[in-house]
Structure 1
Amino acid sequence: MSLQDELLADFASSDESDPELAVPTVDLIATEEVTQALNVDVETYLKQDRELTTQDLLKLVDLGRVSDIKSLSKLQPILEPVLTQIGRYDAEASGTRANFSQEYEFLIKCNDLSSDIIAEIQLIHKHVTLAYSPIFPELETFIQNPVIYSKTVRVLSCDLSSVEDPIKVGELRTFLSGEQVLVLTMAALQQKKQTHNLLNQISTQLIMDICDMVIDLEQTRNTITHYVSSRLSLFAPNITTIVGSYTAAQLISVLGGLKTLAATPSCNIPSLGSNRQIGIGFGNVGVRQKGFLYNCDMVQQFPEDLRKQAMRIISGKLVLAARVDLANSATSAAQSNNSLGVKWRQEIIEKLEKLATPPDDVGVKPLPIPVDTTSKKRGGRRYRKFKEQFAMSDLQKAANRMEFGTMETTVTDAFGRDIGLGMAARHEAGTGRIRKAKAESNNKPKMSKAMAERLK
């Protein structure tokens, strides 16, 4: 068997199911043009008994000899019949089809195909970043999303000075934030001074074609997601009732199916679809996990400070709804039984409304009226002895009294103020001296026995 026959045998697809309802398997249908453009190095891959991916073909195939770059994609021959079948289902009225099981099987396969498209985009993105790195190596650190990266490369091309063009800046702002455009402009102008155009016109056109392939795959995935969202009210009624058909389709699409969603922990649901930028230099304020669940109407109708709690509550009920829909998917009950979804949605709304309700205004509580009654006094010999230590001496009492008809004797303190002595300045008869104050034992400073022992 020749090398060409071996490649055709490896890449051929074998699908014997109903062509109207089945989704082809993910195998490469190689054309004669692609096979002839393969380099000799492909024999090494065949000896290793490994499957060639789209990324391998982009490395091995002489891209200059391939007229249509999309023929290298493994999913390209699969997506065309799927899109045709989706258009056929959209043209029909859902109420005229009696057998919903066939469309449900097709819906599940479409979800599986969405995860394959994401994997295919990641593989092609690795080749795009490798091919575009000689022009703008730092672009990969600024933009992590493969589709946004391809759109940016499509706008900039190989001329980094185009970031100064207002038309190009307007195109970038359609899919990039203002902060990203600012950082991208500064980095591109800095990179322009360091490098020159290292790619010829043919290589540049091939990079643009590969970027177009990534964008087309993303558009196809969005078409499948919209189709799934329009049919989820029949096959996943509880999930659709809680978060809406579009958000439910996004969650099922990114996880690869209803079974995977039912097995996902509720704490991981808010982070699905979150495009958190890394390396831009701008901090995040508020909720960090702004994914599919954050953008649904159920969460957006509440204030910003309650959305984190709202996502936590909705995530728990969402996983329960996914398990119920998965259990009912094999029966006809799944087509109309959304009673649990309605019940859980009402519980979520009541909880969040209770959290959003401001506290009652109780006003300022006045202090109680003081009770003007004499407090109880402790009695006893010990307490009387204790109070005698702080009692006024006879000299202090006499200083507060004045003798009638006699001028009061005053003294000047250290601050120059006159202080009256009152009856405490009575002179002793015949001497003219102030009478000595009688010493009282109660007011004498006392020392405890323990202190006296320490001072010995």
Structure 2
Amino acid sequence: MSLADELLADLNGLDDDFSDDADAQALDSLVAAATPVNAPEAHANPNRCSKPSNQTPAFDITDTNTVSVVAKLQASSQYQSTLTQIRQALTADSQSLATSLDPHLAATYRYEAEYELVVTASNLVTEIDEELVVLYQYVRDHYQAKFPGLESLIPNTLDYFKTVQAMENTSQVTHLDLKSFLPASVAMVVTVAASTTKGRPLPEPTLQAVMQACDMALDLNIDRQLILQFIESRMTVIAPNLTAVIGSTTAARLVGHVGGLRQLCQLAASALLVLGKARKVETGYSHIPAHKKDGFVYRSSAVQDQPVDLRTKAARMLSAKCTLAARIDLTRNYPGGDMGRQMRQDIDGKLAKLAEPLPSKKVKPLPAPLEAPKKRRGGKRARREKESHAMSELRKQQNRLVFGEAEQEADYIDEEIVGLGMIGRNSGNARAVTADQRIKATVSKKYRHLGSGSAITAPITAGTATSGLASSLAFTPAQGLELHNPTAAQQQELKDLSSRYFQSSRQMLQSKRKHTET
């Protein structure tokens, strides 16, 4: 399979949605597969660069007081020769070569001449990180007899070396200027803890070995910064499209972390996003992870310049484009970086679109009211319907008040006081309630044929109702207890009234007057 086919196969696996666990598991295997066959033994094991600080070497480093037995990188000839070449490349005037040749040819020449040195420098950065971890373990194991728990107070590796170098074997740290390299809060905590520690002074040989290890660690960090500066300066030639997408600093860190541009091309976008996470104990950074995917891409200026809610999305977009740009740089199709700049413009446009505020909600005016005339029903039935719901005169009098005078009040049910308003203002007494003929209940024509004797149409008059205390039993002196008819008195009254006019013994007045005249 050709290189182009491999790149196309890798492009099919790009996706913005990926999980952290899959990224972390795939990262080590991909980096191991990307390591060249002829690389040194130190480079063949990529897991060494992510060695945790609490992992001990194969031998006990507390049994020796010689630092050179533990850390051998700085004294190696390959290390010194690589640093010499890097210093010469930084001091050389490479611009004269670029101006005397065609830009494309100059870029190609510099790429072929310096690519191997950039790859070697990238591998050297990984070795320096491993050496710093070993030196940190050496200093921590020896100095904990003097100051137990100091490594828990200072999570930063370089700050720990500087603190041990400043404190040495003294127990009075109040006169030391720890705030020059430590935050004020951390310096105060270290000062208070040093005054209460129960550690013992170190022997002179052990103290000299610890100080030598601190000096070596700080020198290695200076060399590491020099190498990263060299890689960053050559990124515009080695990886112009990758530099245009993510920046020269982040591009140098990515290439230096995996050991070369070819190894970076073999990583998926999900694995590239998690490169340089804080949990991998990157030298110079805190061991406490501040973000779930706080890698080189996330810490780049292109991501940090975005709003907080868009940083994760920006990091994913940049990691995908960085993978494409690295593969383009490996094939040398766009040595001027035009494709990388176009990718960066597309990303900036999408992020600017996402950062735009939502469109304001338009205020819609209310529809014009209909001015059509209302339908008002008239006639006798409509007027009668309105009168049935109208306010009575008594209620109108109750709702009226005389200015400056208190109204009369009346007690109602549940001790409620009801104002009478102007009811009875003229006579002094509240007049009796009269039935309003307008709202009087009426009987429809449908039920009027039932007759006047019907319970529906029969009028209710006072005095005709039977009392609730009336009984059909009566006590008489003749028979004692008698069954009394309650309507007997009414029937007798009707009988007496009719007997005066219709009795047989009574003559008609008109006929008697005529008989007398004759």
TM-score by length of 2: 0.56
What is the distance in 2 between the residues matched to 1:235 and 1:441? 106
What is the distance in 1 between the residues matched to 2:353 and 2:170? 56
Q: Considering only CA atoms, is the larger Rg found in Structure 1 or Structure 2?
A: 2
Q: Which residue of 2 aligns with 1:38?
A: none
Q: Which residue of 2 aligns with 1:81?
A: 81
Q: 1:206 aligns with which of 206, 209, 220?
A: 209
The aligned length equals 357
Q: Which residue of 1 aligns with 2:154?
A: 143
- Asked whether the 8 Å contact 1:411–1:420 carries over to 2, the reply is yes
Q: 2:241 aligns with which of 231, 234, 238?
A: 238
- Corresponding position: 1:219 with 2:231: no
Q: Which residue of 1 aligns with 2:116?
A: 105
- Asked whether the 8 Å contact 1:241–1:341 carries over to 2, the reply is yes
Instruction: Single out whichever of 267-276 and 106-115 deviates more from structure 2.
Output: 267-276
Pairwise CA distance, 1:103: 2.0
- Asked whether the 8 Å contact 1:238–1:341 carries over to 2, the reply is yes
Residues 8-30 of structure 1 show CA distances to partners (whole Å, capped at 9, x for unaligned) of xxxxxxxxxxxxxx997649xxx
Q: Which residue of 2 aligns with 1:323?
A: 324
Q: Which residue of 2 aligns with 1:125?
A: 136
Letter in 1 for 2:167: L
- Asked whether the 8 Å contact 2:125–2:224 carries over to 1, the reply is yes
1:185-200 matches, cutoff 5 A? 185-191=191-197, 194-197=198-201, 199-200=202-203
3-state secondary structure, aligned to 1:136: coil
Q: 2:189 aligns with which of 175, 183, 196?
A: 183
Q: 1:173 to 1:294 in 2, by over 3 A?
A: farther
Q: Which runs of 5+ in 2 are unaligned?
A: 1-37, 44-54, 99-105, 401-405, 442-518
Cα RMSD for the two superposed structures: 4.6
Residues 279-329 of structure 1 show CA distances to partners (whole Å, capped at 9, x for unaligned) of 9xxxx8xx8877654654434555xxx045245314422442233323542
What is the distance in 1 between the residues matched to 2:427 and 2:365? 51
Q: 1:416 to 1:254 in 2, by over 3 A?
A: same
Pairwise CA distance, 1:204: 0.8
Q: 1:351 to 1:425 in 2, by over 3 A?
A: farther
- Asked whether the 8 Å contact 2:273–2:298 carries over to 1, the reply is no
* Larger relative contact order (CA 8 Å, sep ≥ 6): 2
3-state secondary structure, aligned to 1:333: coil
Residues 251-274 of structure 1 show CA distances to partners (whole Å, capped at 9, x for unaligned) of 333344443474352653684669
What is the distance in 2 between the residues matched to 1:217 and 1:401? 99
3-state secondary structure, aligned to 1:371: coil
What is the distance in 1 between the residues matched to 2:170 and 2:111? 53
3-state secondary structure, aligned to 2:172: helix
Q: Which runs of 5+ in 1 are unaligned?
A: 1-21, 28-52, 403-408, 443-456
- Asked whether the 8 Å contact 1:58–1:72 carries over to 2, the reply is no
Letter in 2 for 1:211: C
Q: 1:369 to 1:153 in 2, by over 3 A?
A: same
Q: Which residue of 1 aligns with 2:61?
A: 59
Q: 1:410 to 1:181 in 2, by over 3 A?
A: closer
- Asked whether the 8 Å contact 1:129–1:140 carries over to 2, the reply is yes
Letter in 2 for 1:435: V
Q: Which residue of 1 aligns with 2:409?
A: 412
What is the distance in 1 between the residues matched to 2:433 and 2:428? 6
Q: Which residue of 2 aligns with 1:250?
A: 253
Q: Which residue of 2 aligns with 1:263?
A: 268
What is the distance in 1 between the residues matched to 2:297 and 2:183? 21
1:10-29 matches, cutoff 5 A? 26=42
Residues 72-130 of structure 1 show CA distances to partners (whole Å, capped at 9, x for unaligned) of 52322031011011123224444367363342122122212211221221122112111
- Asked whether the 8 Å contact 1:115–1:254 carries over to 2, the reply is yes
Letter in 2 for 1:350: G
3-state secondary structure, aligned to 2:420: strand
1:23-42 matches, cutoff 5 A? 26=42
